[in-house]
């Protein structure tokens, strides 16, 4: 049985931390890596999807990040900073991918965005579709900060460490990003 | 995190903007929360800003789901990639004694290959030296006649030895020619003081 700690954002498992798992991996326990993947796969895939848009690209990024993590985990000097390190790799790889020529969105992505049956579901889908379009228009740094803050619930200090900027710069980018999102959303609402 | 916020009294609208997200999530210290709420009660613009940011963050909050099946597909793709990665040949680290043995074997092979080449080269050089010595013979005869005329000491050696030992002999010769008072000055360093 896993003990869970109730927090404002939900429940957190009380057990081995990321640092414990990394240290276990470094001392030869390969299954520790699987546990780390289990723990972070959802957030990493969500970040990949929001950073790159197309689901095929996101899956490739997800795979590349975890492969990179697996290859370099034994040399990680600060096991407790695993999550920041993993996001750093993801952001760096996503930036490289964004610089490549953009392919036409994959058919499966379009499928995901199509035809829910209920009317509210359609409205919800349209709403989210509009949000993703607005997110896509944000400048790179602001988009990264908004994703890490609002989707992954990271603190500004951690976001600063991941992106290599100060905590204050992370705050400012977040605020500007949200303002821009709000502006874009109102523009989309009133064509 | 909120230390800087605590230091800033009174709070300005621009500082408020940066800390609204923390305040909304309840991540500010109690003193900072009090300062923010005091400002919000006085400033209608910041209160409106907070409300609008809440709307945007709530809007983003609805977009946290991952399409169904996407995670399973991504995980499967990762497993396949890791299996490929495992089956790929990885460079193996070599034990130190194996590395030493390998280097020694390499050295022996090098010697075995180079020894015949070097011996041939040395034979060729020796014959070349004999030719060179015959070239110098007239010059040596000339030196011998000068020595006899001047009654000076010049080493009586063959041309080949002369070529080899010239620097050493020249030094010795120069030493003999050096005036004695100068030699004494060089040999006895100043003992005064």
What CATH number should be reported for the domain holding residue A37? 1.10.1740.10
In a domain, B172, yes or no: yes
What gap in Å lies between CA A23 and CA A76, rounded to an integer? 9
Question: Which pLDDT score is estimated for B162?
Answer: 60
A2/A90 same-domain check: yes
Mean pLDDT, residues B111-133: 73
B106/B181 same-domain check: yes
Mean pLDDT of chain A: 82
Tell me which residue range forms the domain holding B107.
Answer: 102-185
Confidence band of A89 (pLDDT split at 50, 70, 90)? very high
B2 contacts B25 by C-beta, under 8 angstroms: no
* Interface with A, mutate which of B48, B56, B93 (most A CBs under 10 A): B56
Domain-ending residue, one of A75, A106, A137: A106
* Count of C-beta atoms within a 10 Å radius of residue B147: 14
What percent of chain B has pLDDT above 90? Answer: 5
What gap in Å lies between CA A67 and CA B147, rounded to an integer? 86
Question: Which pLDDT score is estimated for A164?
Answer: 93
Contact B64 A59 (CB under 8 A): no
In a domain, B138, yes or no: yes
B104 contacts B112 by C-beta, under 8 angstroms: no
Is the peptide bond between B10 and the residue preceding it cis, with omega within 30 degrees of 0?
yes
A4/A98 same-domain check: yes
List the single range of A93-102, B137-146, B159-168 with lowest mean pLDDT.
B159-168
- A33-59: per-residue pLDDT in tens? 999 999 999 999 999 988 888 778 899
Number of structural domains (chain B) is 2
pTM for the model stands at 0.61
Residue A13, beta-bridge partner list: A4
* B179 close to A (CB below 8 A): no
A163 contacts A170 by C-beta, under 8 angstroms: yes
Residue A79, beta-bridge partner list: none
Tell me which residue range forms the domain holding A17.
Answer: 1-106
Domain-ending residue, one of A82, A106, A130: A106
Mean pLDDT, residues B91-96: 63
B107/B176 same-domain check: yes
Domain-ending residue, one of A71, A106, A141: A106
A85/A119 same-domain check: no
* B166 close to A (CB below 8 A): no
A15/A102 same-domain check: yes
Question: Which pLDDT score is estimated for B182?
Answer: 53
What gap in Å lies between CA B146 and CA B143, rounded to an integer? 5
Question: Which pLDDT score is estimated for A188?
Answer: 61
* Interface with B, mutate which of A59, A65, A126, A176 (most B CBs under 10 A): A59
B56/B107 same-domain check: no
Q: ∠ at Cα A87 (A86, A91), nearest 5°?
A: 125
In a domain, B46, yes or no: yes
In a domain, B86, yes or no: no
Partners of residue A41 in chain B, C-beta under 8 Å: 71, 74-75
In a domain, B73, yes or no: no
A184/A98 same-domain check: no
- A125-179: per-residue pLDDT in tens? 777 788 888 888 889 899 999 999 998 989 999 999 999 999 999 999 999 999 8
A41/A58 same-domain check: yes
Confidence band of A122 (pLDDT split at 50, 70, 90)? low
Partners of residue B28 in chain A, C-beta under 8 Å: none
A90/A129 same-domain check: no
Phi–psi pair at B9, nearest 5 degrees: -120, 130
A119/A99 same-domain check: no
In a domain, B97, yes or no: no
What gap in Å lies between CA B128 and CA B56, rounded to an integer? 93
Nearest to B21 among A50, A149, A182 (CB): A149
A3/A92 same-domain check: yes
A89/A130 same-domain check: no
Mean pLDDT, residues A113-136: 68
CA B148: distance to chain centroid?
63
- B26-49: per-residue pLDDT in tens? 888 888 888 888 899 989 999 998
* B45 close to A (CB below 8 A): no
- At A12, which helix (H) or strand (E)? strand A10-14
Phi–psi pair at B152, nearest 5 degrees: -100, 160
DSSP A100: S
A147/A71 same-domain check: no
Q: In this predicted model, which residue has the larger pLDDT, A82 or A125?
A: A82
Mean pLDDT, residues B160-173: 68
Q: Over the Cα atoms of chain B, what is R_g?
A: 47
The CATH number given to whatever domain includes residue A176 is 1.10.10.10
Structure tokens at A135: 């997110």
Confidence band of A116 (pLDDT split at 50, 70, 90)? very low
Number of structural domains (chain A) is 2
In a domain, B12, yes or no: yes
- The runs of H, that is alpha helices, within chain A are 18-26, 31-52, 55-72, 82-99, 107-112, 119-137, 140-146, 156-163, 167-189
A57/A144 same-domain check: no
In a domain, B56, yes or no: yes
Confidence band of A109 (pLDDT split at 50, 70, 90)? very low
């Amino acid at each position: 049985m896993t003990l869970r700690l109730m927090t404002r954002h939900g429940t957190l498992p009380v057990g081995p931390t990321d640092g414990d798992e990394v240290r276990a991996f470094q001392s030869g326990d390969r299954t520790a890596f699987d546990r780390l993947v289990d723990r972070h796969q959802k957030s990493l895939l969500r970040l990949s999807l929001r950073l790159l848009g197309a689901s095929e690209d996101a899956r490739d990024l997800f795979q590349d990040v975890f492969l990179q993590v697996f290859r370099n985990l034994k040399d990680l000097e600060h096991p407790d900073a695993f999550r920041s390190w993993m996001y750093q790799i993801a952001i760096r790889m996503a930036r490289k991918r964004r610089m490549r020529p953009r392919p036409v969105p994959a058919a499966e992505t379009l499928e995901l965005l199509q035809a829910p049956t209920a009317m509210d579901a359609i409205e919800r889908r349209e709403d989210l579709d509009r949000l993703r379009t607005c997110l896509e228009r944000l400048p790179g740094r602001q988009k990264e900060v908004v994703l890490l803050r609002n989707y992954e619930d990271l603190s500004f200090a951690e976001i600063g460490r991941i992106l290599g900027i100060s905590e204050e710069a992370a705050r400012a980018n977040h605020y500007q990003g949200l303002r821009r999102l709000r502006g874009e959303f109102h523009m989309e609402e009133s064509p | 995190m909120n230390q800087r916020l605590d230091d800033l009294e009174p709070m300005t609208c621009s500082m408020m903007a940066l800390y609204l997200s923390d305040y909304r999530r309840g991540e500010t210290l109690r003193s900072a929360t009090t300062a923010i709420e005091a400002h919000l009660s006085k400033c209608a613009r910041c209160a409106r800003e907070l409300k609008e940011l809440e709307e945007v963050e709530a809007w983003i909050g609805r977009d946290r789901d991952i399409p169904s099946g996407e995670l399973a597909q991504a995980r499967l793709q990762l497993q396949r990639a890791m299996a490929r990665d495992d089956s790929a040949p990885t460079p193996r680290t070599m034990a130190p004694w194996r590395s030493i043995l390998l280097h020694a074997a390499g050295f022996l092979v090098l010697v075995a290959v180079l020894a015949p080449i070097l011996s041939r080269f040395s034979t060729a050089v020796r014959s070349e030296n004999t030719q060179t010595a015959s070239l110098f013979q007239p010059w040596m005869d000339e030196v011998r006649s000068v020595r006899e005329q001047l009654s000076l000491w010049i080493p009586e050696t063959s041309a080949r030895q002369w070529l080899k030992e010239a620097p050493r002999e020249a030094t010795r010769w120069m030493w003999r020619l050096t005036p004695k008072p100068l030699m004494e000055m060089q040999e006895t360093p100043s003992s005064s003081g």
